[in-house]
Amino acid sequence: MSNKWRYPEKIQQMKLQKEHQEQVLDRLQKPEARPKRTIGRMWMAAAVVILFLGGLIFTPAMEHVIAKIPYISQFVAQEEDRMGRMETFFGETNQSLEQKGYQIGNMQVSRDDKEVTVELMEMSHGKEVLTIVEEHLKENGFQNYTVSVKPFEERAQASDVSEEEMEQFYKNTKELEEKLTSRLQKEEFELMFPVHVQMNPTQGVYINVIVSETETRLDLLEEIMLEEGREYNASPELDIRQVEKKAREQEIRWEQTGAIHDIAQAMMESEQYPVTGFASSFHPYPLQIKIKTSLDRSDESSKAMAEEIREEIDLFIQTGEKTAPIKDDEYEVHVLGKDKKNID
């Protein structure tokens, strides 16, 4: 997971690059291989009182078990709340700085370092900007974040391709994707994924089409791809793949819920579970979720911990409101020890 992330794309005034530049550079240089407020905690205080009256010991780690709320659901709710407050912070800060006439070149947040870095076009008002940012952080519950202000430095994109060439590659790429999609649909090919095209001045044209595993007209598919691709390159590289339709349909359902992202983030950031890695695959069917841990498979307690991890994931999928569309789906959760072997 990324330790550092940016929000400038959510604030239109901070966009300094021309439209499509980053998208085109990504195609040229790299081959392609939610906000809600948390519910109040009044019930928590009541639960604590009842537990103490009953002579039991209550610890924060027991909270989700007692309330019958899965850890992952709690994590997601807290993360959505934090993201919502962070977006509010960015919006309010940007508005305040604009009203004062201060021009921001860039603003970054490091969650791990709890630091906000503001890059200014003009440093003469650095102290005022720092004060404004600190105030908005505090108002939104991020008072433990530090703020640094420095001059804006424009990042040069290392590329031998001119801006005009990038724009033309982008235009040609979208054009070919649209033409191929239209033609394949007319021939009643069932596309499992959108047609994907990459154009590179040194590597030429790459075309990827993924159809159902039941499709038999692969020769016709190749012929159409070659015919359309040769309008842009004499020898386009073709990549034809086939996948199970039900696997792709499951993948779409899960993408719409965001469940994989939520499970991965919750597991990777948990202090409760010794998770060191996460992977998932929808192909072949059914979905495979792999949780890598630092557990020793020879230790008897590792089996109990592995089972608890599996139960947490099942509980999130079966009880979550936004996971309702996938609760009846077939999937497998594999918890791996430090030797990368499954803990049964």
Which tens digit of pLDDT belongs to each residue from 182-223? 999 999 999 999 999 999 888 899 999 999 999 999 999 999
pTM of the model: 0.68
Question: How high is the pLDDT of residue 293?
Answer: 97
Question: How high is the pLDDT of residue 164?
Answer: 87
Long-range CB contact pairs, 180-188, < 8 A, 24+: 180/207, 180/209, 180/224, 180/225, 180/228, 183/224, 183/228, 184/209, 184/221, 184/224, 187/217, 187/220, 187/224
Between strands 146-151 and 196-200, the pairing is unpaired
Of 95 and 37, the one with more pLDDT: 95
Question: How high is the pLDDT of residue 169?
Answer: 92
Fold of 248-336: GMP Synthetase; Chain A, domain 3 (3.30.300)
**Chain-centre distance of CA 179, in angstroms?**
30
Question: How high is the pLDDT of residue 166?
Answer: 87
Equal CATH topology for 163-243 and 248-336: yes
* Cβ contact 152:119 at 8 Å: yes
Per-residue pLDDT averaged across 220-227, rounded?
98
Of 166 and 230, the one with more pLDDT: 230
Q: Is the pLDDT of residue 229 over 60?
A: yes
* Cβ contact 120:129 at 8 Å: yes
Per-residue pLDDT averaged across 115-127, rounded?
91
Q: Give φ, ψ of 240 to 5 degrees.
A: -105, 125
Of the chain, the percentage scoring pLDDT greater than 90 comes to 67
Query: Could you state, in order of their start, the residue ranges of all structural domains in the chain?
Result: 4-33+99-151, 163-243, 248-336
Q: Is the pLDDT of residue 151 over 70?
A: yes
Question: How high is the pLDDT of residue 69?
Answer: 58
Identity at 216, one-letter amino acid code: T
Give the whole-angstrom CA distance, residue 274 versus residue 271. Answer: 7
Question: How high is the pLDDT of residue 344?
Answer: 85
Segment 2-60, tens digit of pLDDT: 333 333 443 344 433 444 444 444 444 444 443 333 333 333 333 333 333 333 333 34
Q: Read out DSSP for 70-102?
A: -HHHHHHHHHHHHHHHHHHHHHHHHHHHHHHTP
Question: How high is the pLDDT of residue 25?
Answer: 44
Q: List Cα–Cα distances, 39 to 36, 90, 167, 313, 338, in angstroms.
A: 9, 23, 47, 22, 37
* Cβ contact 198:225 at 8 Å: no
Enter the CATH code of domain 163-243: 3.30.300.30
Q: What is the 3-class SS of 225-270, one letter each residue?
A: HHHHHCCCCCCCEEEEEEECHHHHHHHHHHHHHCHHHHHHHHHHCC
* Cβ contact 149:129 at 8 Å: yes
Give the least confident one: 104-113, 145-154, 155-164, 237-246.
155-164
Q: Exposed, middle or buried: residue 175 (CB in 10 Å: 0-12, 13-18, 19+)? A: middle
Q: List Cα–Cα distances, 276 to 75, 270, 271, 289, 334, in angstroms.
A: 17, 10, 11, 14, 14
User: What is the SS3 assignment for 301?
Assistant: helix
Question: How high is the pLDDT of residue 156?
Answer: 64
* Cβ contact 3:110 at 8 Å: yes
Question: How high is the pLDDT of residue 153?
Answer: 84
Segment 48-94, tens digit of pLDDT: 333 333 333 333 444 444 444 578 988 988 999 999 999 999 999 99
User: Chain-wide mean pLDDT for the chain?
Assistant: 83
Give the whole-angstrom CA distance, residue 222 versus residue 265. Answer: 40
